[in-house]
A and B are shown apart, each in its own frame.
Chain A
Amino acid sequence: MLSHTAWIEACGTLVALIPIALLAILGLASLLPKRPSERTVGLLTSSSTVACLLSSLVVLGFMLTSGERHVAIEIGEWVSIPHFNLAVKLVFDRLSVAFVLLTFVLCGVIGSFATQYLHRDKGYFRFFVLFALFQAGMVIASLAGNIEVLFAGWEMVGLSSALLVAYFQDRPAPPRQGLHIWIVYRVSDAALLGAAVAMHHLTGSGDFDHIFGEVPWPNEDSHVTPAQGMFVGSLLLVAAAGKSALIPFSGWLPRAMEGPTPSSAVFYGALSVHLGAYLLLRASPLLDASPLLSGAVVALGLLTAVYAYLAGSVRTDIKSALSFASLVQVGIIVAEIGLGLRYIALVHLLGHACLRTVQFLRAPMLLHDYHTLENALGEHLQPPGGPLGRLLPSRFKLWLYRFGTERGYLDSFLYSFVVTPFVRVFQSFDALEHRWARLLRGNCSTETVRSNEELK
């Protein structure tokens, strides 16, 4: 007869291993000449999600009956040499169990929806490979017991997100938006990697239990000084801002709507967009250690919420409007985390993810819904207008309208002051190199130059 701990460990390991196995099967199949049928892919995805959901429910059940609120599962030492250890450790606590259950419920619903929605689409298999990558990444990031494992999951979510935005790849716009998102995610990843390494060197470990103590979430306490908390926390905040589209990275969220509806729902309505908030919740003892950082988190959250409200108010397509509506709530959740209201933030996050998933999945039916409503009312629906609109002077309203339409000029700012100077500098280096090569060759142009000239 297995003990409670053995059951929890077995089921907990399954929760992490099944999505990885699904990814390995679908990933390797994509290199083989014959691909599995739609039916097989759908069946594999749904059965693995159900198995994971049941396993995580078993873990939850055992935790509730045994009274344990913090279960750490050491899968093993991934890398172990003197002065360097990378351990694979999963943690089941109030935060991770809630998030991982949310992941499986929503991935199950959306996976099932996608089998119908993408039926006979030529990218069906590709969608489910990336969906498996996303699910594995979410589970790894949610259950991570140390920052390295969290980073691994974090990157997997980022890649799947960028590639799914470019799902409709016959048109140039989706790949362009996918690349834009990938660039923001790489900034976010770099910040998280920096935080991971900084954490190692400041506290001697990347293990959350070591840094925050083995006390159940949310009662942990960090053993870092305010300055250290501020430093590592700032890097984590940049990482969270990139992933959750907080200011100044918010511009990528409406761009992500180029992807198919199921991926928009799962990424930008439900799970991925909340991963930054999840990171802040996980690292919340660092916020307690640094009041300045907490203030910055509140300010960033509120600014993002206001920005998203203004930008979302002038959207004319439903998916963009929903994405900004999501962002308003994410901003508020982040502000709640900064204020130390962790349970409220968690409940807000869970509720918001479920509501937004339903809204995104209903989005393609919006016109149909409107027609039904208008037919029932016998008149056209009037656009909503608040009292604030009547009180504001018209010039300011116009400015706000422009601000909203241009999405707060955030993208223009980043392009003008970061992207364009960077590209121009390296393009000038490139031109210089070509001239240098031509000089060394005795004014004979290179194949590259010739092919570029031919293209012109």
Chain B
Amino acid sequence: MTHILSIPWLELAFILPLVGSILVWRMRDQSCAWRWGLTLFSVTLLATLLEIVSYGSGTTRVELCWDIQQSMFGQTVFRLDGLNTPLLPAISLFYLLTFLATSGTKLQRFSIPWALFSLSVQLATLTCFDPWTLVLLLLVGVVPPLGVLHGRGKPKRIFLLHMGLFAGLLTLGWYFVDQPETTENYPWAIVVLLLALLVRCGVLPAHGWLTDLFDSSSFGNALLTITPLTGVCAIIRLVIPIAPDWVLQSIGVISLITAFYAAGMATVQKDARRFFTFVFLSHASLVLVGMELATSISVTGSLHLWLSFILSLGGFGLTLRALEARVGRLSLTRFHGLYDHSPALAVSFLLTGLASVGFPGTAGFVALELLVDGAIQANPWVGVGIIVTAALNGIAVLRAYFLLFTGARHPATIPLGITIRERIAFVTLSVLLIGAGLVPQPFVASRYRSAKSVLEQRQQLVPSKTEVPVHSL
């Protein structure tokens, strides 16, 4: 067992999907590509799980004939820590389930090579500790969605404009932050860097690329691109440790406005994809709000919300995608009456949607409680804003449920019921969401440790930052 754990699973988790993407690229046979894809996503999940077991047990690696990281970078650039440990298997699992739930008819649209490439880059981004490599990985992360848009012959201008801005600001920002002699420019360099990452996260008013991506790309690929929230990871690694308080506070306000705006927009949408994009944006912004309040409870809430968000909103997106695969693009202007065709999809839609808005008994409940509590410690009005945003998101989710699943039965000449592969994906996600909701302590404790380490790092570099005293609850 020890011998198995000594294998560098983390490096394998990046390399396998990367090499696999090249292999699958050359395949013309769809079924063969599907089998390879399934194998590669499963092995990557297994690799991340084994790496975590190895990390948890403290197993030392055997002396390899050549250390991949040392030979390439001269140092250990990629490694696990408290922050990324639960995220890696969650993201790998989400990729696997997304792939598994892709219907046969949609395989042509779903780009397996780009999905594998994207998984490799995202796992590397989450585990990267070298700033310049992280910057490079964030830039490379733009390529897969661009490739999908190009492959589908869709307009790329909005995506390119935003990502061009992101790339420019990111490179410029980190270049100046990295210069020790330019201390007088320091706050402005951080602002530039932060702006870059906010564009990447889709914060108002730079969220146009998100709606455009969902509008033009395949639903599955778009979902895989945005769900892991690599932008938040970059903010934690690059910005939070060095940003002055005023920068974080102002960005917290912008994020809260974005969360509220997106929640409000989600309630009036006429298109299901656009509705999902705004629900997603609202939640992603809530994660940022907690981060930027920089109290131990708010950051714990944010990190927990991030984890639950991958499962809940990811599952929510998958359900919408499964519906689209059956009846095409879904409008929210009339009742579709899809319940009778597939009650299991309706249950899954409701469960994942409500989990994302923090319904009791699901993973999101404790995350939202922590976030609201942490926010109110820092600023009561932010807490009120989060509560209102969560309420609006809840309204948007149930409105969409009623419009999609109720009404006169949808006339169909073919069976629209849930497939076995979809059922496996949704049952897995449901069990995880409810399990993490009923027994949240291990997750919250791990997130708290990560939050403490993020804040300690910040405390060392920005000593003026003092955490708001908290009540003992």
Q: Which residues of A contact B (CB under 8 A)?
A: 24, 27-28, 30-33, 77-86, 122, 126, 148, 151-153, 155-156, 159, 162, 166, 169-172, 174-176, 178-179, 182-183, 186-187, 189-190, 193-194, 197-198, 200-201, 204-206, 422-423, 425-427, 429-430, 433, 436-437, 440-442, 444, 446-448, 451-452, 455
Contact = CB atoms under 8 A, between A and B. Distances in A.
Interface string B442-453: 001100100000
A82 B296 contact: yes
A118 to B, nearest CB: 16
Contact of B265 (A152, A198, A429, A451): A429
A441 B158 contact: yes
Enumerate the 9 nearest inter-chain pairs by beta-carbon distance, A residue then B residue, closest first.
Answer: A152-B360, A169-B406, A175-B402, A175-B406, A190-B391, A81-B448, A448-B271, A186-B391, A83-B470
A106 B305 CA distance: 38
Contacts of B473: 83-85, 200, 204-206
A168 B256 CA distance: 38
25 contacts: A31-B347, A31-B430, A77-B441, A78-B440, A83-B470, A86-B369, A155-B359, A156-B361, A170-B409, A172-B335, A189-B391, A193-B387, A194-B387, A197-B373, A201-B471, A426-B265, A426-B268, A430-B265, A433-B211, A437-B208, A440-B208, A441-B212, A442-B155, A447-B215, A448-B271
A201 B376 contact: yes
Interface string B55-76: 0000000000000000000000
B297 interface: yes
Contacts of B329: 447, 451
Most buried by A among B273, B347, B406, B408: B406
Given A78-B441, A200-B473, 4 more contacts: A31-B426, A159-B359, A169-B339, A447-B215
Interface string B177-188: 000000000000
Contacts of A190: 387-388, 390-391
A79 B441 contact: yes
Interface of B: 155, 157-158, 161, 208, 211-212, 215-216, 261, 264-265, 267-271, 273-274, 296-297, 300, 329, 331, 333, 335, 337, 339-340, 343-344, 347-348, 354, 359-361, 365-366, 369-370, 372-373, 376-377, 380, 383-384, 387-388, 390-392, 394-395, 398-399, 402-403, 405-409, 423, 426-427, 430, 434, 440-441, 444-445, 448, 470-473
Nearest to B354: A159
Contacts, number: 188
B270 A170 contact: no
Nearest to B331: A455
Contacts of A430: 265, 268-269
B270 to A, nearest CB: 6
Contact of A441 (B155, B394, B405): B155
SS class of chain B's interface: helix, strand, loop or mixed?
Answer: helix
B360 A436 contact: no
A155 B268 contact: no
A440 B161 contact: yes
Contacts of B212: 437, 441, 446
A48 B398 CA distance: 29
A67 to B, nearest CB: 32
Contacts of B359: 155, 159
A360 to B, nearest CB: 24
B418 to A, nearest CB: 8
A357 B331 CA distance: 40
Nearest to A152: B360
Contacts of A201: 376-377, 380, 471
A186 B399 CA distance: 12
Contacts of A455: 331, 333
Contacts of B472: 83, 204
A58 to B, nearest CB: 26
A452 B361 contact: no
Nearest to A35: B343
B383 A182 contact: no
Contacts of A81: 297, 300, 444-445, 448
Nearest to B157: A441
A126 B343 contact: yes
A179 B398 CA distance: 7
Contact of B347 (A30, A78, A155, A429): A30
Contacts of A425: 264
Contact of B405 (A27, A32, A169, A437): A169
B210 to A, nearest CB: 11
Contacts of A437: 158, 208, 211-212
A170 B440 CA distance: 38
B215 A197 contact: no
A353 B354 CA distance: 30
B216 A183 contact: no
B265 A436 contact: no
Contacts of B383: 194, 197
Most buried by A among B215, B339, B430, B473: B473
A155 B470 CA distance: 27
Nearest to B392: A186
A411 B8 CA distance: 64
B398 A31 contact: no
Contacts of A194: 383-384, 387
Nearest to A203: B471
B360 A84 contact: no
Nearest to B430: A31
A194 B208 CA distance: 32
Given A78-B440, A166-B402, A186 B366 contact: no
B376 A162 contact: no
Nearest to A30: B347
Contacts of A174: 406
B93 to A, nearest CB: 18
